[in-house]
Amino acid sequence: MKAAVCRDFGKSLDVEEVALDQVHRGEIRVKVSACGICQSDIHYMAGAWGGELPAVFGHEIAGTIEEVGEGVDDFHPGQAVVVIACCVMTGFGAVVNTAAVAPGDSVVVIGTGGVGLNAVQAAVVCGANPVIALDISPEKLPVARSFGATHSFDARADGARETVRELTGGRFADVVIVAAGSGQAVEQGLRMIGRGGTVVVVGMPESAAVSQLPVTAFAYQGQRILGSKMGGAQPHVDVPRLVTLHRQGRLKLDELVSACFPLDHINDAIASSSSGTVIRNVIVFPA
């Protein structure tokens, strides 16, 4: 089968034939029909987190089961399978599972890529108000409003903190979701939470990134900072819920796809994904 192989960090991927290992006990082989390009894939390609090479990236897949290993009884060849991509589960779960946002909470989302937009959607589902979206890409601000944000503005704007204070009636945010992979974004989030507020760090910057914490104010105001990996998801619980919300028209999924590319154009798709103006590009494979 063909795959896009990373042989050198920071270089283009090579599309080439690869050999697959046999299917072992408890495993499933899926013929991939489509795969989203996650920002984490791009970070891995750049060498931001290290890792062994050569490597094949990609984890947001949909496809058909080709083969099941010994001991697999619940799935069968020919069955269609899909992952409610990590950008959905991670962003939604950061709000619902990690932060446990309640009706009436004020929520700020910093970074409105795939993860951030799903954090916005989750905040709306939870009954949060206001839901404020921040991003450094002007093109993404109206998109955030189309996904349910009550307000959106440039994260670099002068007086951004004061704007959040005004929009929250002087209390600042109950919850800030940092979906941007930036140490500065975490520091900005810490400045935007109110007394008893929570910052949830979802975005993953390069390994060397650091943030400074205003310790005294943080402790005095009883604030929290939490990390969230994959939104603290329990897939058997969360995926059916996400599917139900989508069928009810309360969770946008189709609108997350910016463009589709064939595998041979993988490097064009990655360059587009790195531009900061798209939500999710998807690689599609022939049937």
Per-residue pLDDT tens over the stretch 157-208:
999 999 999 999 999 999 999 999 889 999 999 999 999 999 999 998 777 7
Rounded distance between C-alpha atoms, residue 208 and residue 218, angstroms: 23
Q: Which CATH number fits domain 87-232: 3.40.50.300, 3.40.50.150, 3.40.50.720, 3.30.1520.10?
A: 3.40.50.720
Look up residue 31 and give its two tokens.
């013929």
Look up residue 195 and give its two tokens.
């007394």
User: Architecture of 2-84+253-284 per CATH?
Assistant: Alpha-Beta Complex (3.90)
User: What per-residue confidence (pLDDT) applies to 208?
Assistant: 75
- What does the DSSP 8-state code read for residue 55? B
Give the alpha-carbon dihedral of 123, 125, 129, 133, to 10 degrees.
40
What does the domain layout of the chain look like in residue ranges? Answer: 2-84+253-284, 87-232
Rounded distance between C-alpha atoms, residue 153 and residue 112, angstroms: 11
pLDDT digits (tens, 9 = 90+) for 14-28: 999 999 999 999 999
In the numeric block, the tokens 């929520």 are attached to: 107
Which of 20, 39, 47 is CA-nearest to residue 31? 20
User: What per-residue confidence (pLDDT) applies to 49?
Assistant: 87
What is the block-wise mean pLDDT of the chain (287 residues), using blocks of 10 residues? 94 95 96 93 88 93 96 95 84 97 98 96 98 96 97 96 98 98 93 96 83 85 94 89 96 95 97 88 92
Q: Which amino acid is at 218?
A: F
pTM of the model: 0.91
